Amino acid sequence: MTDADLAAVAAAEATIYPFPWTRGNFADSLAAGYGAWLAQEDGRMIGYAVMMHVLDEAHLLNISVLPEMQRSGRGSALLIHLFAHARLQAAKRMLLEVRPGNLAGQGFYRHHGFVEIGRRRDYYPAHDGREDAIVMARDL
Ligand SMILES: CC(C)(COP(=O)(O)OP(=O)(O)OC[C@H]1O[C@@H](n2cnc3c(N)ncnc32)[C@H](O)[C@@H]1OP(=O)(O)O)[C@@H](O)C(=O)NCCC(=O)NCCS
């Protein structure tokens, strides 16, 4: 992902999440040097991911597949790429947060070996205030 992709990524994000990251959130991630990828098919973006490294941990900040392309293995392909990249950076573990209400996301992560290791209170904006985050992790 580069600055040239930000408009398309932010537009896609707005179709995927009720509380989407903004263009500025993605721009800040690139400026901070986080790993950021587009998944493309036939030159068309079908998904993207953002991941941060801290010491020997990789922190998955965003992984998304276009709604019409979901549940056909694309997210898995992207995540497996992230596992490989994180190992190359000497990460021993991958961490992420997911909304308790995001059962699809939790199912996806469990399918890939993540387990719940804790909660962060009032982590996400929600329609009626804030929502906790489930923290999940997987050894690499
Ligand atoms: C979560 C997401 C990235 C998964 O990508 P995907 O391409 O749809 O997932 P895959 O087809 O690779 O799914 C692999 C496995 O994960 C699990 N899974 C995926 N979607 C699921 C769902 N909606 N419900 C339950 N399990 C699910 C299944 O075990 C699936 O294997 P199966 O299809 O053989 O049963 C994608 O659905 C997405 O972008 N969702 C909206 C954004 C989001 O919630 N991102 C995560 C935020 S923390």
* Whether the CB of 135 sits within 6 Å of ligand 1: no
Ligand 1 atom nearest the C-alpha of 102 is: 44
Q: 31 with 44: CB under 8 angstroms?
A: no
Residue closest via CA to ligand 1's atom 23 equals 104
* Whether the CB of 15 sits within 6 Å of ligand 1: no
Using CB atoms within 10 Å of the CB of residue 48, give its burial: 0 to 12 exposed, 13 to 18 middle, 19+ buried: buried
pLDDT score, position 67:
97
pTM over 0.75: yes
Average pLDDT value for the chain:
97
Instruction: Give me the domains of the chain, ranges plus CATH numbers.
Output: 3-139 (3.40.630.30)
pLDDT score, position 47:
98
Residues with Cβ within 8 Å of residue 10, at least 6 apart in sequence = 20, 21, 22, 23, 26
Q: Which tokens is 36 given?
A: 């950021």
* Whether the CB of 111 sits within 6 Å of ligand 1: yes
pLDDT digits (tens, 9 = 90+) for 37-85: 999 999 999 999 999 999 999 999 999 999 999 999 999 999 999 999 9
- Position 4 confidence tier, pLDDT thresholds 50, 70, 90: very high
pLDDT score, position 81:
98
Residue among 104, 14, 93, 97 nearest 62 (CA):
97
Ligand 1 atom nearest the C-alpha of 99 is: 48
